[in-house]
Amino acid sequence: MYIIGENIHILSDKVKEALTNRDREFFMDLAVKQVEAGAKAVDVNLGPRKKDWAEVFPWIIESIETVVDVPLSIDTTNVDGMEAALKTIKKAQPILNSTSAEPERLEKIPALAKKYGAKIIALTMGSSGIPVEADARVNIAVETLIPHLMEIGFNMEDLIIDPLVLTVSGCQQYCPELIGAVQMLQYSWDPAPAISVGLSNVSNAVPKENRPLINRVYLAMLMGVGLQMMIADPLDEEQNDVIKWIESKDTSTPLAALYNKIAEHTEAGEEPQIEDFDLGDPDQAAIWKTTQILLDKVIYADGYLNQ
């Protein structure tokens, strides 16, 4: 699993504070921690920085590149800020995060990625928003995103498609469709485009204590359909266990076997079966309930585990 570490994100209060104080050490430390935990790239999301982008983007890139050698993912809607970051990067091939199929973004951002030889994450989202159905999202990729990139002579190996994970708390019907989209995208083009998702979006607006479980179960499903790249928290050890168990087909413990079962069923286009779960074990019962909300079989509620 290629993890783009998500922890440098402006929505975190600590990140916000460190940025205000221009605390270089904080960002260097957070980048190193993520890479040491296994992140293959580091996402940098400090928001659009409309006023101070010219100073902030080069500063953060320079700081982080002092301590890590991995690709940096420049995560902003500010095109000028993106370019300022691209100019600063000295080490690995960067990732632009992101363009969508909206005309204005699609016109500017892929051109920028091409100019600087960056990879690009392209969201399957058009001007009319994010479609629910898997095939509608795949259509945005094959009818809008890929043709445009080919037209400008973009190196298709540098394209990463993100079919957009949405939260189970409020956009529940999108959750099973995203699994379908990840599966279909791999057959949508030759050569198959790289696919990445923002995993933890699936648990946005979910009470904090329930988020990791929802992320892990969804991850097992997505790995089942072939997900190999994601923006996620590389410091989540239980999540890393699930990755390891599924990648090595480790079934030596009940939980490892269960997560592998979930991945296998999803790969086969089946739903997880209740017989696979020992519902007397609270951990397994919680995982079962989580599969049911993620597949939109049971309506999500914050207290779904207590039901």
Torsion, Cα of 85, 86, 87, 93 (10° steps): 130
To the nearest whole angstrom, how small is the minimum distance from the Cβ of residue 63 to other proteins?
Answer: 40
Please calculate the CA angle 32-33-36 and round it to the nearest 5 degrees: 85
Cβ nearer to other proteins, comparing 63 with 167 = 167
To the nearest whole angstrom, how small is the minimum distance from the Cβ of residue 221 to other proteins?
Answer: 20
* Backbone phi, psi, residue 32, to 5°: -65, -45
Cβ nearer to other proteins, comparing 145 with 171 = 171
To the nearest whole angstrom, how small is the minimum distance from the Cβ of residue 296 to other proteins?
Answer: 10
To the nearest whole angstrom, how small is the minimum distance from the Cβ of residue 214 to other proteins?
Answer: 13
To the nearest whole angstrom, how small is the minimum distance from the Cβ of residue 303 to other proteins?
Answer: 4
Which residues would be at the binding site for other proteins (CB under 8 A)? 169-170, 172, 297-304, 306-307
How far is it, in rounded angstroms, from Cα 240 to Cα 69?
22
Cβ nearer to other proteins, comparing 57 with 304 = 304
Cβ nearer to other proteins, comparing 8 with 294 = 294
Cβ nearer to other proteins, comparing 97 with 167 = 167
